[in-house]
């Protein structure tokens, strides 16, 4: 993959260059993070109203990867808050794409990490130790596999089963 500043990711350009390889997620996400354009290899989490696995994962080295969380589309609890977003940024995660809600949106907007989610909700999740790491997740019209590559900017989110060149 050609190195390029994350702020210069262009999903329209990638769609033009790789129309047969990219899978575009439905336009259901809002931007919340301090970084609006990001990319990286995917680590998936399937969790419903419980962010125990998220909390464990953001404490590990991100190495420029992207966390994709399937929260079942729940609008009743926030899977991500300001402390976990800050921890993700501090540990080198490029971004998070969440099929669910976040909270502490003003603080997350000041955090150097990409965050896309469905909406906000003030209630935190319960910690029951539930959730699956590195499993296929399906939402926003696409199935996302662990190890896929995700590219996101203000135009949208797309995934591909291989790294794409920006040339």
Q: Binding residue per annotation — 83?
A: yes
Are the C-beta atoms of 122 and 128 separated by less than 8 Å? no
Q: Which residue has the tokens 């262009």?
A: 10
Q: Binding residue per annotation — 161?
A: no
Sign (positive or negative) of CA dihedral 5, 161, 60, 102: positive
Q: Binding residue per annotation — 148?
A: no
CA distance 104 to 83: 9
Q: Binding residue per annotation — 81?
A: yes
Transcribe 96-121 into DSSP letters: EEEEEEES-HHHHTTSSSEEEEEEE-
Q: Binding residue per annotation — 50?
A: no
Bridge partners for 153 per DSSP: 156
Tokens of 84: 């976990």
Q: Binding residue per annotation — 69?
A: no
Annotated binding site for substrate: 81-84, 103
Annotated binding site: 81-84, 103-104
Annotated binding site for Mg(2+): 104
């Amino acid at each position: 993959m050609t190195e390029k500043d994350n702020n210069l990711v262009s999903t329209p350009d990638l769609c033009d260059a790789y129309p047969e390889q990219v899978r575009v997620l439905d336009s259901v996400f809002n931007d919340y993070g301090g970084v609006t354009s990001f990319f990286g290899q995917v680590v998936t989490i399937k969790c419903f109203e419980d962010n125990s696995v998220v909390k464990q994962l953001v404490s590990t080295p991100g190495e420029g990867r992207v966390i994709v969380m399937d929260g079942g589309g729940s609008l009743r609890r926030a899977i991500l808050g300001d402390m976990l977003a800050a921890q993700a940024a501090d540990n080198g995660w490029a971004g998070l794409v969440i099929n669910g809600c976040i909270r502490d949106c003003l603080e997350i907007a000041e955090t150097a990490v990409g965050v896309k989610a469905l909406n906000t909700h003030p209630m935190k999740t319960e910690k029951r130790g539930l959730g699956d790491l590195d499993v296929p997740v399906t939402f926003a019209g696409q199935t996302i596999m662990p190890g896929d590559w995700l590219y996101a900017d203000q135009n949208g989110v797309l995934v591909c089963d291989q790294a794409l060149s920006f040339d």
